[in-house]
Amino acid sequence: MAAAGCGGRAPLVLEPAPSGGPVAASLFLIGDAGATTASDRVLVELRRQGRAAPRGSTIVFLGDNVYPRGIPEDTAADYPEARRRLLVQAALADSTGLRVIFVPGNHDWDRHRPTGWAQIQRQERLLRDYATQNRVAVELQPRGGCPGPVTTDLPGSIRLVAIDTQWWLHTGPRPGRATDAVVRTLPDPDPACGVTTEAAFLDSLRRVNAAADRVTVLVGHHPLASHGEHGGHHPWIQYLFPLVPTPIAPWAWLPIGWIYPLGRRLVGHRQDLIGAANQAMRRALEGTFSDRSPLIYAAGHDHSLEVMRQGPGRFYLVSGSGMERHQSAVGRGDSTAFASSRPGFMRVDVLEDQRVSVEVTVIDESNQPRGVYRAWLRSGK
């Protein structure tokens, strides 16, 4: 399959992975699908591939599972629609027979507002109730607003490690930082987090990465590298438009599009890679990595698809274009092997001989699902 990307930079070429082969298990990675519908072409194709995948395969939603502000109280006017947006994704467990895991995103934390801890707990409760009522494997990881890491050993020698990156970036109440009065108002006042400080979280993650006996895939919402909007990429046309009229002449218009990207760069919001808190989190997470683990760090947040190589034996994936009409522009860097702003998702296949490949599926310009990129992430033991 040919790599389809954008930008003029020469692509980093990974060894192509041929289709077929004895796949032990697949891991589907899809993010930022929080306003999708059952008829969305991305979800339809994910459902089709999930049905055909080996039993024991898993679907991971990489955060921002409910736009715009997560799950409100059940008395709120927007609760029914928020609930529908979440459960249409959870229903993939029914239609595919696969396990479905949701990772929290900043929008799930009430779009990083102070009331976010309660919002993410409501999401967990909805998913738990859905799993019980429908007798399917659906869950939020980490649960309760806890930071994680949560380690799940899956078929195919896959070790899935889930973390809540919004917990790190959150400025409001969260586990480890809240008054008793706030805790008493939560849907679950005692989430029983294993760790509640950054230092303890990093120590736990370091121990996980020290055990490199399986194919480790670390998943969170915020990317460690990105060439999308949160990574500071804004196409040139955005710097020109919109235009505003001037009093000089009817034909004289002033471009003011540059105000937004420049202002965003100057502010350094913690949701962007340029933000000081975001940089500190990324440095800390990368400081827990060992030579062999994790093989993959996968995230959403930017509404694009990126495969990046971060040195020998490590790859960063951004899979945040999980629904149609919700994409943003993406550029390229020296680490980029693939980049696309089309809607779609990724699938990581672990073969029986422990080789690992990634495949990117997009909805193309003719509104058809198409595999546009496939490469080895690990081609031998």
Given a cut of 60, whether residue 281 has pLDDT beyond it is yes
**Residue 249 within any structural domain of the chain:** no
**Residue 257 within any structural domain of the chain:** no
b/e per residue 39-50 (b: at least 16 CB within 10 A): ebbbbebbbebb
- Alpha carbon distance 228, 241 (integer Å): 19
Look up the pTM and report it: 0.90
* Residue 219: per-residue pLDDT: 98
* Residue 265: per-residue pLDDT: 62
| Structural domain that includes position 333 | 23-232+272-378
**Residue 239 within any structural domain of the chain:** no
**Residue 9 within any structural domain of the chain:** no
Given a cut of 50, whether residue 5 has pLDDT beyond it is no
Given a cut of 50, whether residue 236 has pLDDT beyond it is no
Given a cut of 60, whether residue 234 has pLDDT beyond it is no
- Alpha carbon distance 61, 4 (integer Å): 23
In this prediction, residues 289-313 reach a mean pLDDT of 95
**Residue 18 within any structural domain of the chain:** no
Which CA distances in Å does 125 have to 91, 160, 188, 340? 16, 22, 9, 35
Given a cut of 70, whether residue 150 has pLDDT beyond it is yes
Given a cut of 90, whether residue 298 has pLDDT beyond it is yes
**Residue 87 within any structural domain of the chain:** yes
Q: Which residue has the tokens 């690990």?
A: 378
Q: Which residues pair with 279 in a beta bridge?
A: none
| Amino acid sitting at position 49 | Q
When the pLDDT of each residue in the chain is averaged and rounded to a whole number, the result is 90
b/e per residue 192-215 (b: at least 16 CB within 10 A): ebebbeeeebbebbeebbeebebb
Given a cut of 60, whether residue 254 has pLDDT beyond it is no
We report the CATH number of the domain holding residue 53 as 3.60.21.10
Closest Cα partner for 151 from 167, 163, 135, 164?
163
- Alpha carbon distance 160, 51 (integer Å): 21
- Alpha carbon distance 5, 11 (integer Å): 9
- Map residue 152 onto helix, strand or coil: strand
**Residue 129 within any structural domain of the chain:** yes
pLDDT digits (tens, 9 = 90+) for 303-333: 999 999 998 899 999 999 999 988 888 888 8
**Residue 104 within any structural domain of the chain:** yes
Domain count, the chain: 1
pLDDT digits (tens, 9 = 90+) for 104-134: 999 999 998 999 999 999 999 999 999 999 9
- Alpha carbon distance 30, 51 (integer Å): 16
In this prediction, residues 16-40 reach a mean pLDDT of 91
